[in-house]
C-alpha cells in the first residue's frame, strides 16, 4: 500500500473522460481516479473531474442527467472523496485477496427493441449518485476484465495495452535499470548509463 501511495504522487492522470469513451478507456480513467491526489487538483480540475465522473456513470449512447444542470450536486466534494477511498480500499483488497465483493443496489431492466433484447439498466436519465457509480464500476471492470493486470513492480492495478507488462514507464524503467546494474556488476565492469527508455515501450 505504501508503494501505491508513493506512485500516486508521481503518476499522471487524465482527469477528463469523454462521454462516448469505450470501456477500456473508462476502466483506465477509473484506476487513475482511484490513485488521484485530490489535494493536487485546481478548481478547473475539480470541475473536469466532476464532469468525468458523470460521464463515467452514464453509459455511452445515453444522455444522463447533468448533475450541475439540476442545480443540486448529488456527488458533493466529500462524497467524491468517500467513493475514491472506497474504490482504493476495494482495489487493494482485490490485489491481496484476489477478490472484491461489494453491494451495488440497482434495478436491472431488459428492453425489447427491433434488434432483440437490450440491457436498459442505466437508461437515459440515470442520476449520477454514489450508488450508480458503484454499479458502473462493476460493469466497467467486468467488461475491461481481460485487460486488468497487477503491475509486477509496484502491484498497482492497470489496464494493459498490447504487450504492456508494467503500469507505467516509470516501473518498466526501474526494472530495466535494475537488470542493467545487476548485469554490469556480474561482468565486473563499472556501470555506465542505464539503457535509454525505448520509444513507446512501457
- Residues of this chain that interact with Zn ion (CB under 5 A) are 151, 153-154, 156, 167, 171
When the beta carbons of 67 and 154 are compared against Zn ion, the nearer one is 154
Instruction: Kindly state the smallest distance separating residue 202's Cβ from Zn ion, in Å.
Output: 10
Alpha-carbon span 80 to 149, nearest angstrom: 25
Residue with smaller CB distance to Zn ion, 52 or 160:
160
CB 100, min distance to Zn ion, A: 19
The least distance separating Zn ion from the CB of residue 197, rounded to whole angstroms, comes to: 15
- State how far the Cα of 122 lies from the Cα of 179, in Å rounded to an integer: 48
In whole angstroms, the minimum distance from the beta carbon of 11 to Zn ion comes to 9
Cβ 38 vs Cβ 53: under 8 Å: no
Identify which of residues 34 and 151 has a Cβ nearer to Zn ion in the complex.
151
| Cβ 67 vs Cβ 74: under 8 Å | yes
Q: What is the dihedral of CA 165, 170, 172, 175, to 10 degrees?
A: -140
Q: How far is the CB of 154 from Zn ion (least distance, A)?
A: 3
Could you please report the per-residue DSSP string of 143-202? HTGGGEEE-TTT--EEE--TT--SSSHHHHHHHHHHHHHHHHHHTT----PPPPPPTT--
**Residue 123 or 194 having the CB closest to Zn ion:** 194
Within 10 Å of residue 79's Cβ, how many Cβ atoms? 15
d(Cα 83, Cα 81) in Å, to the nearest integer?
6
The least distance separating Zn ion from the CB of residue 137, rounded to whole angstroms, comes to: 21
C-alpha cell at 59: 453509459
Q: Give the nearer residue to Zn ion in terms of CB position, either 103 or 162.
A: 162
Q: Which is nearer to Zn ion, 139 or 155 (CB)?
A: 155
Amino acid at each position: 500500500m505504501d508503494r501505491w501511495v508513493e506512485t500516486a504522487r508521481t503518476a499522471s492522470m487524465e482527469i477528463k473522460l469523454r462521454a462516448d469513451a469505450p470501456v477500456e478507456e473508462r476502466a483506465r480513467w477509473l484506476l487513475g481516479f482511484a490513485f488521484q491526489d485530490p489535494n493536487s487538483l485546481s478548481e478547473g480540475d475539480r470541475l473536469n473531474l466532476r464532469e468525468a465522473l458523470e460521464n463515467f456513470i452514464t453509459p455511452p449512447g445515453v444522455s444522463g442527467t447533468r448533475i450541475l444542470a439540476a442545480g443540486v450536486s448529488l456527488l458533493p466534494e466529500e462524497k467524491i472523496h468517500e467513493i475514491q477511498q472506497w474504490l482504493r480500499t476495494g482495489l487493494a483488497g482485490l490485489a491481496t485477496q484476489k477478490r472484491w465483493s461489494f453491494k451495488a443496489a440497482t434495478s436491472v431492466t431488459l428492453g425489447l427493441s427491433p434488434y432483440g433484447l437490450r440491457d436498459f439498466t442505466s437508461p437515459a436519465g440515470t442520476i449520477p449518485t454514489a450508488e450508480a457509480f458503484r454499479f458502473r464500476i462493476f460493469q466497467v471492470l467486468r467488461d475491461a476484465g481481460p485487460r486488468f493486470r497487477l503491475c509486477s513492480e509496484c502491484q498497482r492495478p492497470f489496464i494493459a495495452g498490447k504487450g504492456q507488462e508494467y503500469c507505467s514507464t516509470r516501473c518498466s524503467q526501474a526494472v530495466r535499470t535494475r537488470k542493467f546494474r545487476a548485469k554490469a556488476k556480474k561482468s565486473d565492469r563499472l556501470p555506465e548509463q542505464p539503457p535509454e527508455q525505448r520509444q513507446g515501450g512501457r
